[in-house]
Structure formats: structure tokens, C-alpha cells
Amino acid sequence: MGDVAIISDIHANLEALDAVLADIDARPEIDAIYCLGDLVGYGPDPARVIDRVRKRTDFILMGNHDQAVTTQPLGFSQMAAAAVRWHRQELEPGLLAGPGARARWAFIQALPQQRRVHLDLFVHASPRDRLTEYILPGEITRNPGKIDEILALVDSHCFVGHTHMPGVFLAGPRFLSPAEMDHEYVFKPGEKAVINVSSVGQPRDRDPRACYATLTEAGVTWHRVEYDVEITVAKIKSIPQLDDRCGLRLLEGK
């Protein structure tokens, strides 16, 4: 099997998604794309992002924003909830909706919450709570028992997104950022890891470039991709239902 690209947390940011897909296309060694969810939320292009990801990926998981858009945005910030409600208006098919809109809506509703490939587990948030649990670097010191409990549920490697913060959680517990590893985590025999692939459409590590990861038999590499963020920001500002902060935060990667 060739390399696998893993994308997550696109959040209706079409410009970032297209830039990442172009970067993936430029790497002939990649022959599969996995998506860990949150196609929608925050951004200006929910339908186009869903259609693009459906066409290009080998599997797609449900994220908490994907679930919220078909149910209710419970526990969301005011800014995030407003975006979810607008996305629902854009996506939920009405009486006169065509088959494409109905198929898109049914697709989002039916997304699975996990996928296993050999010993590797793929989820949106955590192996303990697949949609909503945050695994944050600060918990290494604040709540070290939590990391050990999560790793106990992992057979080998678990790939997540959700926090938009790239890095690796290991026993100890320890957290390694991509910068500490020269952007590459090399697998070690018997070492369990929870690996966050970061976010395509809304990175939060103070780097505004889109982020994704590639998986090989040897390990994981993170890639940063430039895109025209000003276009996305302008689109968001033009949509009254979206808070301008959904766009402005993209400029600073937070």
C-alpha cells in the first residue's frame, strides 16, 4: 500500500481544502485520503466542501460540527452555533430540493464515528468519546491520568483531529509537537500513540497555513500548505449569518 493522506476539520473552508488537495496530488506516493470529520462549521462553503470531500476521499468520519448541523449545536459557543444554524439552512433539503441536495443531507446524517485499518483507529476526537472529547497538550500536566486512560483504549495508533492542534500524545504521559520532531513522528515497536493531524480549514497553533498529515509504514509527517486566506475571510464577511471572527481568526491561526 502507498502513503495515506489524513485530513480533518475542514470547516467549510474551500480555499484551504483545494490547496491541500493540490498538494496531495503533487505527491504521487499518496494513493488514499482519509477524512476525520468536521466538514462543516465556521466557514462559507459547506455544500461545496462536502461535495469535494465526498468525491476525493476513501472514507469520511463524522465530526461534532457535522453531527450538530443535522441535530442541534448543544454546548457550542455563540459564534459556532450561529454558523451551524446557517449551515443547516443551506444544507437541509426543502420540499423542492433536487436529488443532489437530498443525497448530500442523507450522507452527512449517516457518517460513521470510527474506522479501523489493521491496528490503527481513526476517530474525530478521542477513542473514549469519538465526537466531543478534547485531548489537549496542557492536560499532560493538568490531568496526566486522562492521557494514560485514553492510551489504554488504543491498540497501536489512534488518529484524531478536533482540537486543531497537531502533535503526538505518548505514555508517560508526554506530548510532542511537530516542531519538536522536525515535523515527523517515527513509529517505535510497541509504542502506543494518539496522533493529532491538525486542521485543514482552521489551524489553531498560530500558523495560519492549512495542515494535513501523511501516514506511511514508518511514521507520520505533517505538511503545511499556503492558501489565499483573504478570499475565505472576505466570503465570511459577506455572509450576515456568520460572525466576522470566524474569518479573522484564520489570519492568525487561532
212-242 pLDDT, tens digit each: 999 999 999 999 999 999 999 999 999 999 9
All three cell numbers of 140: 499532560
- CATH number of domain containing 201: 3.60.21.10
Residue 94 — pLDDT band, cuts 50, 70, 90? confident
For residues 156 and 119, give the distance between their C-alpha atoms in angstroms, rounded to a whole number.
6
What total number of domains does the chain contain? 1
* Per-residue pLDDT at 49: 98
Q: Residue 242: what pLDDT?
A: 98
Q: Which residues pair with 33 in a beta bridge?
A: 5
How high is the pLDDT of residue 1?
62
Structural domain including 133 reads 3-252
**What are the C-alpha distances in Å from 1 to residues 6, 30, 216, 224?**
15, 9, 9, 24
- CA dist., res. 104 & res. 75, Å (int): 25
Q: Are strands 59-60 and 167-170 parallel, antiparallel or unpaired?
A: unpaired
The residue written with cell numbers 515527523 in the block is: 184
Full-model pTM: 0.97
- pLDDT at residue 122, rounded to an integer: 98
HSE-up of residue 120 (Cα within 13 Å, Cβ side) = 14
Instruction: Give the pLDDT band of residue 96 (cuts 50, 70, 90).
Output: confident
Instruction: Evaluate whether 56 touches 48 at the Cβ level (below 8 Å).
Output: no
